[in-house]
Each structure stands twice: as structure tokens, then as C-alpha cells.
Chains A and B, each alone.
Chain A
Amino acid sequence: MNPMQKLLQLPVGAVNMVKSVQSQVQGQANEEAKSPVLTPDGGQQTWYSAVQPDELRHLRADRESGEEKGFLEEGVGTVQSQPLRHDDLKEMLDSNKDSLKLEAMKRIVAMIARGKNASELFPAVVKNVACKNIEVKKLVYVYLVRYAEEQQDLALLSISTFQRGLKDPNQLIRASALRVLSSIRVTIIVPIMMLAIKEAASDMSPYVRKTAAHAIPKLYSLDPDQKDQLIEVIEKLLADKTTLVAGSVVMAFEEVCPERIDLIHKNYRKLCNLLIDVEEWGQVVIINMLTRYARTQFLNPNINESLLEEGCEKAFYGSDDEDESKEESADAEVSTVAKRKPYVMDPDHRLLLRNTKPLLQSRNAAVVMAVAQLYFHLAPKAEVGVIAKALVRLMRSHSEVQYVVLQNVATMTIKRRGMFEPYLKSFYIRSTDPTQIKVLKLEVLTNLANETNISTILREFQTYIKSMDKDFVAATIQAIGRCATNIGEVRDTCLNGLVQLLSNRDELVVAESVVVIKKLLQMQPEQHSEIIKHMAKLTDNIQVPMARASILWLIGEYCEHVPKIAPDVLRKMAKTFTNEEDIVKLQIINLAAKLYLTNSKQTKLLTQYVLNLAKYDQNYDIRDRARFIRQLIVPMDKGGALSKYAKKLFLALKPAPVLESPFKDRDHFQLGSLSHLLNAKAGAYQELPDWPEVAPDPSVRNVEVPEWTKCSSRDKRKDKKVEKPFYSDSEGESGPTESADSGSDSQSDSESRSGSSEGSGSGSESEDSEEDEASDSEGLEEAPKGRKIVKSKMKTSASDSAASDESGGEERNVRPKPKHGKRSESEEEEEEESESESSESESESEQESESETDVKRKKKVSTASAPSKQTKKTNVEKKETVEKKEMSLLDLDDFLSTPVESTTPQVTPVNSVLSNSLVTDLEGLSLTDSMMSAVNITSSNSVKMYELLHRIKGEGLAVEYCFSRQPFSLDMHMIAVQIHFTNNTSSEVKNLHVEEPKLQSGMRMKEFQEIDVLPPSATVTAVMGIDFCDSTQAANFQLCTHTRKFFVSIQPPVGELMMPVFMTENEFKKEQGKLMGMNEISEKLVLGEMCRNDLAIVQRVTSAANIGRVPCGSDKECRFAGKTVTSGSLVLVTVLTKEGGATQLTVNCEKMVIGTMLVKDILQALSQ
């Protein structure tokens, strides 16, 4: 009967399979009747074809008795209740009821999950491998895979079940059997596994072949001797054309024979083409493998640039003069380059780049990262940029993903900074970020810092320093130190900031700042004295022992730079010696020793005194040190041999520490890899090979008709399943193709061939379209720019008309002559015009720097325009200086009275230009920061400079100020006033600061930081905040230098007392409705020709007052809204234009005085 049953089993299984494939056949009706809730339950039983329980019964009889004995013996050692429970389970497993078996298995699995040992139950469990209940069977598999290794002999009992399964007509059963069979780690069955894998590898079902691919590494880890045979299988499977197999087989390839790169040649193009349809995990593996492959087969696309490594960094998002510098360096290298063939990218290389790019849009972070690293390692410099956006997107993901991505970005930013610069703000730190993310973000920010964005970054850093997370603060201080070393311009600012941190309460912060200051000082020995002096002063106030000790070390180390102060510090310290902490005491001794060696005349007695104090100290370390030092430095009669080297010992030049990114040089690891993350080679890491000098033969990738397809045609006959290729739409309609798997060779071949031959052509095509798209998508953003251009055009035409007057001005001989003169008659107008003009082009240039890609494209379009733009820019700069001059030229005689000035007229302008460009940078920031929506035209950038202190009055110190219209970060009720100091004398001006502010009641002032030194002919900008209390009363104060005090005052125009507010049209109307009657002031005027259009009005109004535009339905009306800075009262401005330039100006403001004054100002601005 048993054999009969067995015989019957197969057909039944087959029938059931057919059923389930057809899925809705009538047979199911019966099944459903049995289990009304679970739909197609019954059709299943046989898909793990079963061993008859009877078969095992014989085995069990003798086994069980033996096992039980052993078990009891073991049981003695373990907890008493355990054997009991296990008996219970065994009983359940032996029962005939599936539900009991299931219950038992569930409990066993739960035990395994908790990590409890359930190995005693092996015999009882393994016989259920033949159980008909699917769930029981699956759980038995789980158990088997877990314990088979420990009970190899018993595990063999189950093998025959799986072997039978391998022959099952249903592909899923075959696959499942192979999967479990290969997961049982029993050495004895290696030959069986090998055979099974080989057979499965040529199975007609791709799913089974996939499973075979999965089984390969399992077998390999079980028995590495099988490698050669396994490679054969891998080779065969690599030729497979289904997406299902591709990922798995490459994974097997990577685990078994990653060095056999030659196996990939023939399959390279196919893998590239399949890539997009492969499941996501497979994609990762394939992309990583192809990166290595490409590194061995193609030439470095950046080969020409890599010769000029330094130049190319700029070449990517370069400045305007990049072309020149490139040419120059190219000249230098011309001999080498000329010998080299011009680089042409291999079409296969292009194919890879093209086919991986869409995967940057994957939802799977690992795929995105894999593509990113591929581009980073393989793509030409100009194309790498595309990955930045995708990587920044990943930063929104889970914190672990962020962590890994940031690590990689940190490495990338060192090599390719330009790539991430546009995304600077995405790396800003939130207080809720975990510390490790914060630190990594800091790292990236530091790497991204350059001359143009450093002011923004430092401002961010200022916020971070106040954080509660002290580890993070320490990291920030280090970051500031690194910025300071990398960017010379901000070194002083950073140092000053750090010095201030020394007074922080937190010891960690102080210690960290001292360390960083120390490093910075060691780097720049010539500028020491000032800061050391400053720090010497701090010893009076700072109580943190660590900081005191560090300062003393610094003074000792550089005592020669501060010869006057050092002994004095020692004197003070000697006085307080007994009360100091131990580390401070040690440093006092140190200082004393160093001073004794350099300046023994003055400090001999002091040193003696200190050493004597130390001699009787309670701490033996200090006593020892004192004794040691006395021996070393004080010349004795016996004359210690060392004492003559004392100076060398103590005052040896300490090497300056190098502040560099910990991510430097990490890019020799393949990015995104574990090894890269750990910065150490992980097991089985495959080195990323260097580019070859000469490209290997590309023809190896040409595909002949592979043998494999012969059997695939056989497959086709058998496997009737219709699969529609999903992605390739064009093919999708072509009817029942047998999937890529067996699609006729000729077709797919020609396809791949055409694909590759298209390579170059379509590659460039896609690039083109990309570009189009990019420009399209930017259409929106460009709109405002376009307007600006129009504006500037208007200006040019206007000034052109006036250009006839060009040669007029008598003062022009003294200043550098602007080549493209735009002159107009009245000086006032000229001033104003050049001002706004310059601001415009400034904003333009700032936009340039903001979207450098833009520039790049423009450059591409016409390189010829670049130089002209450049000249324009310089002209603008010159113009600015001109404008500056004009102020001083108002009284010509004192100009003449300072002949120094006229001989070196360029010096000051250059500086002022520099600082101005910084200013515009800052403004640019506030522009994008501000909450205006794109609809609103924000206040035009024209910043009016006012004079605070005239050059003559200030004895060479000229001070100007302007209202930068940025929020004052320290106090939101204050107005930021930017002050420019220019030193026109030939000596330094020191200790610039504010004293004795005389303010009206209610007004407040936040002084700028003291400026220590203003070198001759230098310009410095400082920002101070003043709360004018919504009045135009002047703020009077004294401006002090180290020698003089000047009484000055700042009086704000009424328009600067407010800030823009965002409103919708409705809100505006509502608010306006509330402010009628006394609060409304109207005025009529007739607009000049010049400003009859919207833009001119907006520009003029916003230049007169710091208010923002409100969207408005009608084009006859312009609306603006703002609020006063101190009290926050609303200021609403409406400009209603009528026919012929007649205009009504209405101001609604709660504060009538402000309203009246504002009306006057705007009227004036509009009627000009």
C-alpha cells in the first residue's frame, strides 16, 4: 500500500500544482467548502513533496531508545523541569494531530528564538520533515537549518526528502528543496549539493536557477575545495539573461571568485542593460562589482585633468579666470599631454554610466549609494555632480543611513568640494540630531568652507557653540580651528572668537579652545604676541585650571615674543602660587624655567622664589618637578652635564600640529564600503584597482552566440509561462515573448550591439536633453533674474544717453579710469545710479557664485562672453571705488593735503572691494533667507553708505556705516548697522571700540566687538545693533581708538526702522481696513517717465524703506508691508498708479509720526 500511495502522490501533487497555477479552477470549490475563511488552502499540501512517515518509523524505533538514554544522562546536569517539558513536546510531536505538532513546533521555534538550546529534540523533530501540514513543515525546516550542523548524522535522515523535492515538476518545490538542502551545513552531503546545484543551474525555471546561485556561496563556505567546479557553474549562470538570476549570481561571484574579472567580459553589456530591472539588492551587488570591473578595463576619464590635480578642482566649478589658469598650466604640461592621445571614452564605459544613472532615483538608500560611489570612482569630473542631489536626499532618511551617507560625503567633499557647495544648508545642524550626526555634519561643513561661504558657516558655528551638547561644542571649536587654518582671511576672527570662549564656564569648552588656539598660534609664529598678550590678561579672570595651565604654557613657549609681559605674569603667578591647582603649579614652574633660560636677569629671583615654594609643596609631583628643574637650569658647581642643553630641552621648536580632516585619503577605499566606513580593511574587501595605463582590449566584451542559448530554446518549448517584460515598453507590446530569458538571441544580441554602438551617440543625446531639461526647470528661477537684466538694460540705455558727458568730470584724473564709462551729468544722480548699478551687478555676481552651474552653462554657450563679463565685473568694482572716492572728493583740498593718498590710490580701493564683496555675500544670504516668497521682490540691494567719521576729522581713520537690512542676530529688536573702518594712516590703529553711548530713553545698543588692530590702509567691517525705539533720534556714542576718542552719531532714516513682513493680499486688505482714519496718510504725485513701471516703483520704494512687497492682483497697484522693528507696528504702503503717471501714495501706520515721515521719504524717492 505504501508504494501505491507514493506512486499516487506525484500525480496528485501535479494536479494540485496545476490547480494553483490556474488558481481559480473548480476543484477549489471543494477545498473552500472545508475551510470557508482561508481561501485556497487545500491545494497546497503537496508542494513540499513528502516522505512517508512510515518510512521513518523503522528508524525511529531503535533510535529513540538510544536517544532517550543519552538524553536522560544529559538531563541530570540541567534543570530538573527541562526534561519534563521536552518530554511533553516530544509527545506532541509524535502525535497524529497536526495541531498538536504545530503547537509543539511553535514552542520549539520560540525556544530557538530566545536562544535556548533545543538540540535534544532533534530526532523528534526531524521525522516531521515529512509532515503534510505546510506550517509544521516549514518550522521543521527552520529547526533543521539551525541544528543540522550539530547533529550531522541525524540530519542525513531528511536528505532523501529534499532529493525527491529536487525532481518535483513544480519549480517552487524544486527551488525550496534546493534551498533547504543547501542550507544544511553537513559536510557529508557536499557531493549531493554539488550535483543538485549543477542540475539546478540548467533548470528551465529562472527561479530555480536563482536558488542555485544562492546555493553556491553556501557550498563554497562548507567546502572551499569545490571552488573550481563552482566557478564553472557561476560562469554558466553569469550568461543567464534573466533579471531574476543576475543579482544572485553576481553575489555568488563576489563571494567565490571576485578575482576572476575575466568572467565578466562577455556578460558586461548584458548586465548593464539588465541592471534597471534587477531587484534592488541585486543592483547594489552588481553596481559594486561593475565599479571594480570598470576600473580594470577602462581608462581614467579624468586623465588629462589628473595631471594638473590642483587646477582641476577649480576647473569644475571654477571662477572666471579658470580658463586662463588652465591654459597656462596646460602650456606647462603641453608636452606630456600632446604625446597622449586625446581621451575618448569607451562606449562600454559610457553605457555603464548611462544605465546606472536612473538608479539614483531608487527608494533604496543602498542602491543610491552604490551608484554614487560608481560615479565618484568612474565618471568624468564634470558628470560627478549629479550624485550630490541624491545623496543629500538620503540625509532625510533614518539616522543610521544619515551616518553612513555623511561619512561618504565627508570623503567626497575633500576631493570634490564644488559638488556639495550648493547644498551647504542641508548640512546645517539641528539641535535634535544625535551627536555623532552633528559631528559628521560639522566635518562636512568644515570641508565645504571656502572664502565665499565662510562668513555664513562661521555664523552657524556661533549658534552651535552655545549648544548644551558639550561634545558637540568641542567638535565645533575644532572645526573653527580648521576653518581658520584653511582660510587665511578669517584666521583673526576665529582666533578672537576662540579667545572669547576661554571665559566659558565649561571646562571642556575652555580646554578645547585653548588647544585649538595653541595649534593656531604654533602655525603662525609672527602674529603671536597680540593674542598671547590678550591671553595673559585673561589669567586674571579665568579660573578653569586647565585653561590657566594652557595659557601659562603658551606664554612660556613664546616668552620671547612677549618679553615684557611674561615676567609680569610670572610675578603674579608667584604671588598666587600656593592657591593654584596642581596642573597650574606645574605650568608655573615650567614658565619660570623657560623664563630663567631666556631672561635670567629679570626673572632669576622670581624663579628661585617659585622653586622654593614648590620645594615645600604638599604634592610630591610638584616637589619632584621643582627639584628636577632646579638641577637642570641653575648652573651648579658640579655642573650637571645636562644643564648646558637645558635651553635646547625646554625651548625646542615644537612641531606645529596639522589640522586636517580625518577623512583625508580615505577615498582609496571604495566608497560606501564597510572598509571605508571603518577606515580599515574589512575581511574579503576587494581593493579598488587603479586605472590601467593602457586600456585592455575592448573587443573581449563583444558577444558571440553563446552556447547556452541552445538549451534555452529547449526551455522555451517547455516553459509555457508568458512573461511580459515590464520596463521596456516598446517590447512589451510585442506579444508573448518568453521574457528576456529566452528571447531570440539574434534579437537581443543585435539589441545589445545597437545599444553599444549607440553608446556615444545617444549618450550625448541624453546629455543634451538633460541640459534642456535643466534649463527648462530653471526657467522659473530665472524669471526674476530676467527682470533684473531688463532693469539693468534700462539703466544702460539711460546712462548711454547721458554718456556724451563722459569725459567731463574734473576729478576723474585722480582715480583709476573706468573704461566703460557711464556718466551722467549731476553728481547726485551719478552717485545714486552707480550705486544701484553696482549693487545690481553685485547681486548678479552673487547669483553667479550661488549657481555656479549656471555660470558654467553660460560659459559653455559662449566662452567669448566670459571675459567681457569679467571686465564688466571689474568695472563694477572700480566703479565702486570711484563712488567711494567721490565722497572724499567733496572737499578736494584735503585730498591734496594728503599726498600719500594720491600716490597709492589703489590700495584702499582693493581692500574695500574685498570687504564689500564679503558684504554682498552676506546680503545674498539674507536675501535667500528672508521669508519672502518668490513673488515678492525683496528690497533692492542698494545700500546707502553714510559717513560716521570723516577721514580728516578722524585723523586718517575713516568710518562709514550702512543699514545692511539684515536681522541682527543677537537681538531681534535691534537694527543691524554695518560699520566700515578704513585706516588711511601709515600706522596701525588699535583697540577700536565704542564708549559712553548717549542714548535717548528706551534706546539700546549692542556694541561691536573690539577691533584689536587695524593695519595701515586696511578696511574692517563690524556690525553693531541699535534699538532706535522706533524713532529717528540719533544714537550718540564715542568711537575710541588707542589714542583718540571721537564723538559720533548714527541717525537712521525712517525707512530703516522697519523690516519686511509677509502677507497675503487678503491679510493686507484686512490690516489696512483696521488702520484707517488718522492712521492713513495719502499723498498724490506724478511719476516721472523713468519710473512708470512696476519694477521701478518697487525698487524705489524698497530702497527708501525696508519693506517687502505684497502680492497684488492688479498691476496698477503696488503694495508693501513691513513692521517697525521695536514695537512691531504694521506699516502698509500702497502705490496706486493712474493714467499719465498720476499716482497716489498711501501709508497706513499705527505710528503716525513714522507714517508721515515715511510718506515724505517715499515721495522723494519716487519723484527723483
Chain B
Amino acid sequence: MIHSLFLINSAGDIFLEKHWKSVVGRSVCDYFFEAQEKAGEPENVPPVISTPHHYLINIFRDRIFFVSVIQTEVPPLFVIEFLHRVAETFQDYFGECSESTIKDNVVIVYELLEEMLDNGFPLATESNILKELIKPPTILRSMVNTITGSSNVGATLPTGQLSTIPWRRAGVKYTNNEAYFDAIEEIDAIIDKSGSTVCAEIQGVIDACVKLTGMPDLTLSFMNPRLLDDVSFHPCVRFKRWESERVLSFIPPDGSFRLMSYHVSAQNLVAIPIYVKQNISFFESGSSGRLDITLGPKQTMGKQVEGLTVTMHMPKVLLSVNLTATQGTHKFDPVTKVLVWDIGKLNPQKLPNLKGSLSVQSGAPKPEENPTLNIDFKIQQLAISGLKVSRLDMYGEKYKPFKGVKYITKAGRFQVRT
């Protein structure tokens, strides 16, 4: 399936290549560069590029292009999903997935790629199995390795590959047994000029960090599972129990993983925690404009809105800004034309306001569209959909684990049209 993989940085250098079948020359990437040039922006590069002898399926992630070479028919999503899994594995191993970390750990990267694919077909993609095979680098381990000459390659047999529960490694042992669940909800919304909601929905995930000894069998139940309209699960979740009882029953992987993601039904109206009053205008003459933005809390359910940031992609003709903010800092990058206003906490008594003038390239026509406001925020201790975990039970092991649930609401793709 996947013939070869090239990693290309944003400057267009191929800094890693790996072949699972016969070697495919680097020149195949020229087609990719061509497409890249045509597309302009990196995210506009078509994910599938057809060349005379091959197909290139690529993803753009963390400023790196993962370009895979395909020769025959294969579902494109199969490859795309796999490439993202590769990137996630790198992130999991090295803390971040960047050119420098990949170059620093090139041997581990190569070993990982070797294990993840066999003849181009995915073999081991579960992080639990991979970590059994190849240990992630830590400072301590690399020090020990240099001194003792021992290696990163796991020494135990990767029994995970044999088990019917491939996501959990065997013989896990902890002194503190703990299971943490984070319910993170993101609000995707488009707010129009007048402040009314064009569309809004809630996307949530439950990320878990489970460190439990042995083979615990967990059951997580919700107060109001009917809220969840559409769900997708980690393979460990028993689907039948969910269908019949609406509880999540699973033997967890060891460590951090995404237990489920869900969508709260679109029929439910979504509470929008903040409102924006904005007035952005460009004058027909005099090559200038005015900007006045005020944010305020709307439906915050009595919680504090934090980490408030407003990002605006300003028109290309904008030269500079002269703004004053009553709260937080603002920054305008004259190259990318991005204005970021980092507000921080939202104080309902004293609403943050950003006001001032914009100067436009003289002679240029006045921009037709006002920039869209992309808003980012976070509300701790609140799941905006009202989802609540009611209990977590553990079977199969004798000890008593420590359990914790945390709720966070965030802005997802939250845009205000102006």
C-alpha cells in the first residue's frame, strides 16, 4: 500500500525518507513541489496528487509535509489517517513533532516506522505496543544509554501484538493507582455581524489518563448520556454495552488516550458564553480605518472565562495599527497581517475593549470585507453541554483506585463575522 514516505519541511527540503518496498527516487517529490507552488498556502496543497507512475498522498502537520508514495488503488483516508497516526506517535514519543526532534531522534523514528508498517500495510499502530517495542527517549534513559551502551529497543517480548487486547500492555504495575478523565468540550460557532448565531455546535472529547495496575475493567456512566448525539470510541470501548445501557465499558490502554469523542445534538441550542461588540470600518478616503471591539460575558453559567484571545486576519492592504487595549496585550504582525489580542481573564465588571485606528496603504481601495474575529477562550470546571459523569466503577482488580473527572469548555472554531 504505502510505498515510501518523505518528510519535507516548509523550506522544501526532504529531511527524511523511508521506503517499505523498492526504492522510489526523490525526484517523485518534484510533482509535489509543483503542486505546492501552485497552491501557495501550505494548507491548500491538494492531499492527493496524481503523477504519471505514482500517487502522492500528503498531510501537512506541525509545519512538516508527510508525503507518501502510493502505486495502486487504496482508500485515501486510509493513508491520511495512518500518516496522522505516525505524526501522533512522534508527538507521543518526542513531546513534539518537529523537524529538529525528528532529526535528533532519526534512529528511533526509523525504528518506529519499521514497526508501524510492514510492506506498506499498517502493522502496529497502538502506542502501548510500540512503547513495548521501542522505548521513548527520556533524558535519564539517554544518559544511561550512553554510559552503559544499552539500547532503546525494548527487551521484553511485545506480547501486546498477540493479545486480543492489543492496546494494553501486559504486567502493568503502579504504586499509586489513578484514573483521570478530562471532559473537554469545544464550541464551534459562527456568529454573524448582528450577534446572532448562524450555527453553533458542541464537540466534546473525553481524554483519559489511566494508570492502573493489572487488567482493570472500567465502567464509566453518565448522568445524561442522551445528550450525546453522535459518538466515536477508542477501540477498547465495548460498543454493545453502549448500545444497550449507554455506559462506557472498557479495559483501558495504559497511559493517556482518547476514550471517546462526541457531538452534542445540533437540535439543542448552544449557549454562547461570550458576546462581541465590534465596529470595524475603513474609510473610503484618507487611507485609514477604525476598530473598536468589546467583549463581554453572555452565558457563562457563572464561571470565569479565561485565556481569551482574539485573532484577526487583517486585509492585505493594512499597513499598521494604532490601538489601545483596556486589558491584555495586542500585537500586529505586519508581514502576515495577523492581529492578536491576548486578553486573559474576562472581567464582567470592566469589559475589555480594543480601540484605535488602522492605517491602510495609501491609494489602495478600501477593503471590502471586514476581518473575521477568531476567538479563543477557556472555561474551567464547566461542560457547556451539561454533560456529567456520574460514576466510575472498576472490576477485575482488588485495589481501590483514585478517580478524578475534570471539565473544560473551550472555543473551537469560534468565529464572529464582521
B251 touching A113, Cβ below 8 Å = no
B171 touching A434, Cβ below 8 Å = no
CB distance from A195 to the nearest CB of B (A): 19
A214 touching B73, Cβ below 8 Å = no
In angstroms, Cα B171 to Cα A399, docked, is 39
CB distance from B27 to the nearest CB of A (A): 11
In angstroms, Cα B114 to Cα A113, docked, is 12
Q: Chain B residue with minimal CB distance to A726?
A: B164
- Asked if B163 CB lies within 8 Å of chain A CBs, one says yes
Q: Encode A371-393 as 1/0 by CB contact (under 8 A) with B.
A: 00000000000000000011011
A683 touching B367, Cβ below 8 Å = no
B196 touching A428, Cβ below 8 Å = no
**Residues on A with beta carbons closer than 8 Å to the beta carbon of B156:** 20, 23, 40, 43-44
Q: Chain A residue with minimal CB distance to B312?
A: A431
- Asked if B230 CB lies within 8 Å of chain A CBs, one says yes
Q: A134-B155, A672-B77, A931-B272 are in contact. Are A727 and B238 (CB under 8 A)?
A: yes
Q: A171-B162, A683-B73, A933-B299 are in contact. Are A425 and B48 (CB under 8 A)?
A: no
CB distance from B243 to the nearest CB of A (A): 7
CB distance from A1086 to the nearest CB of B (A): 35
> Which of the segments A413-421, A775-783, A794-802, A1090-1098 contacts the partner chain?
A775-783
CB distance from A87 to the nearest CB of B (A): 22
Q: A21-B157, A725-B164 are in contact. Are A426 and B199 (CB under 8 A)?
A: yes
**Residues on B with beta carbons closer than 8 Å to the beta carbon of A141:** 114
In angstroms, Cα B119 to Cα A81, docked, is 35
**Residues on B with beta carbons closer than 8 Å to the beta carbon of A23:** 156, 170-171
Q: A38-B144, A366-B75, A683-B72 are in contact. Are A47 and B166 (CB under 8 A)?
A: no
**Residues on A with beta carbons closer than 8 Å to the beta carbon of B413:** 430, 432
In angstroms, Cα B70 to Cα A74, docked, is 33
Interface size band for B: 35 or more
Q: A776-B226, A777-B226, A781-B267 are in contact. Are A400 and B47 (CB under 8 A)?
A: yes
B73 touching A969, Cβ below 8 Å = no
CB distance from B258 to the nearest CB of A (A): 7
B155 touching A400, Cβ below 8 Å = no
In angstroms, Cα B75 to Cα A687, docked, is 14
- Asked if B78 CB lies within 8 Å of chain A CBs, one says yes
Q: Chain A residue with minimal CB distance to B144?
A: A37
In angstroms, Cα B262 to Cα A390, docked, is 10
Q: A113-B110, A277-B164, A725-B164 are in contact. Are A404 and B258 (CB under 8 A)?
A: no
- Asked if A198 CB lies within 8 Å of chain B CBs, one says no
Q: Encode A18-60 as 1/0 by CB contact (under 8 A) with B.
A: 0011011000000000010111111110010000000000000
**Residues on A with beta carbons closer than 8 Å to the beta carbon of B365:** 505
Q: Which residues in window 750-787 of A have CB below 8 A to B?
A: 776-777, 779-781
- Asked if A915 CB lies within 8 Å of chain B CBs, one says no
Q: Chain B residue with minimal CB distance to A424?
A: B199
In angstroms, Cα B79 to Cα A365, docked, is 10
> Which of the segments B10-18, B355-363, B400-408 contacts the partner chain?
B10-18
B269 touching A928, Cβ below 8 Å = yes
- Asked if A654 CB lies within 8 Å of chain B CBs, one says no
In angstroms, Cα B81 to Cα A343, docked, is 38
- Asked if B179 CB lies within 8 Å of chain A CBs, one says no
A35 touching B150, Cβ below 8 Å = yes
B106 touching A284, Cβ below 8 Å = no
B417 touching A463, Cβ below 8 Å = yes
**Residues on A with beta carbons closer than 8 Å to the beta carbon of B77:** 365-366, 369, 401, 404-405, 672
B121 touching A251, Cβ below 8 Å = yes
In angstroms, Cα B81 to Cα A460, docked, is 31
In angstroms, Cα B3 to Cα A221, docked, is 12
A1062 touching B374, Cβ below 8 Å = no
B157 touching A723, Cβ below 8 Å = no
B47 touching A969, Cβ below 8 Å = no
B73 touching A682, Cβ below 8 Å = yes
CB distance from B129 to the nearest CB of A (A): 11
- Asked if B36 CB lies within 8 Å of chain A CBs, one says no
In angstroms, Cα B290 to Cα A639, docked, is 68
Q: Which residues in window 661-719 of A have CB below 8 A to B?
A: 672-675, 677-678, 680, 682-686
- Asked if A106 CB lies within 8 Å of chain B CBs, one says yes
A969 touching B18, Cβ below 8 Å = no
A723 touching B48, Cβ below 8 Å = no
In angstroms, Cα B22 to Cα A221, docked, is 10
In angstroms, Cα B203 to Cα A1071, docked, is 33
Q: Encode B226-244 as 1/0 by CB contact (under 8 A) with A.
A: 1001111111001111010
B111 touching A142, Cβ below 8 Å = yes
In angstroms, Cα B313 to Cα A434, docked, is 13
Q: Chain B residue with minimal CB distance to A42?
A: B155
Interface centre among B140, B239, B365 (most CB of A within 10 A): B239
In angstroms, Cα B80 to Cα A933, docked, is 38
Q: Encode A968-1012 as 1/0 by CB contact (under 8 A) with B.
A: 111010000000000000000000000000000000000000000
In angstroms, Cα B232 to Cα A389, docked, is 11
Q: A288-B75, A729-B240, A776-B226 are in contact. Are A113 and B18 (CB under 8 A)?
A: yes
**Residues on A with beta carbons closer than 8 Å to the beta carbon of B150:** 35, 38, 41
Q: Chain B residue with minimal CB distance to A464?
A: B369
**Residues on B with beta carbons closer than 8 Å to the beta carbon of A739:** 164
**Residues on A with beta carbons closer than 8 Å to the beta carbon of B266:** 422-423, 425-426
Q: A115-B26, A505-B365, A682-B72 are in contact. Are A389 and B198 (CB under 8 A)?
A: no
**Residues on B with beta carbons closer than 8 Å to the beta carbon of A185:** 21-22
B239 touching A726, Cβ below 8 Å = no
Q: Chain A residue with minimal CB distance to B257?
A: A363
A281 touching B164, Cβ below 8 Å = no
**Residues on A with beta carbons closer than 8 Å to the beta carbon of B122:** 281
A24 touching B73, Cβ below 8 Å = no
**Residues on A with beta carbons closer than 8 Å to the beta carbon of B149:** 97-99, 102
In angstroms, Cα B271 to Cα A205, docked, is 55
A361 touching B148, Cβ below 8 Å = no
A934 touching B268, Cβ below 8 Å = yes
A214 touching B119, Cβ below 8 Å = yes
B119 touching A390, Cβ below 8 Å = no
In angstroms, Cα B233 to Cα A362, docked, is 6
**Residues on A with beta carbons closer than 8 Å to the beta carbon of B231:** 361
CB distance from B274 to the nearest CB of A (A): 11
A149 touching B239, Cβ below 8 Å = no
B73 touching A686, Cβ below 8 Å = yes
A967 touching B192, Cβ below 8 Å = yes
- Asked if B71 CB lies within 8 Å of chain A CBs, one says yes
Q: Encode B362-383 as 1/0 by CB contact (under 8 A) with A.
A: 0001011100101000000000
- Asked if B329 CB lies within 8 Å of chain A CBs, one says no
Interface centre among A39, A281, A463 (most CB of B within 10 A): A281
In angstroms, Cα B132 to Cα A1126, docked, is 65
Contact of B80 among A135, A277, A400, A929 (CB under 8 A): A400
Q: Which residues in window 935-969 of A have CB below 8 A to B?
A: 967-969
Contact of B194 among A139, A206, A967 (CB under 8 A): A967
Sampled A-B contacts (26; CB under 8 Å): A40-B156, A42-B155, A44-B156, A138-B114, A138-B153, A211-B118, A214-B118, A243-B164, A363-B258, A366-B75, A398-B80, A422-B266, A431-B417, A432-B374, A432-B413, A674-B48, A678-B48, A683-B72, A685-B72, A685-B73, A777-B226, A777-B229, A780-B268, A781-B267, A926-B196, A972-B193
Closest 8 CB pairs of A and B: A135-B151, A99-B149, A967-B194, A684-B72, A972-B194, A425-B199, A44-B155, A434-B43
| Residues of A participating in the B interface, judged by any CB pair closer than 8 Å | 17, 20-21, 23-24, 35, 37-44, 47, 97-99, 102, 106, 109-110, 112-115, 133-136, 138-139, 141-142, 146, 149, 170-172, 179, 182-183, 185, 205-207, 211, 214-215, 217-218, 221, 243-244, 248, 251, 276-277, 279-281, 284, 288, 358, 361-366, 368-370, 389-390, 392-393, 396, 398-401, 403-405, 422-423, 425-426, 428, 430-432, 434-436, 460, 463, 466-468, 504-505, 672-675, 677-678, 680, 682-686, 721, 723-727, 729, 739, 776-777, 779-781, 851, 926, 928-934, 967-970, 972, 1062, 1064, 1066
Beyond A281-B82, A776-B226: 14 further Cβ-contacts under 8 Å?
A: A24-B171, A113-B17, A170-B157, A172-B158, A362-B233, A401-B81, A405-B77, A428-B198, A460-B198, A504-B368, A674-B76, A781-B268, A967-B194, A1064-B299
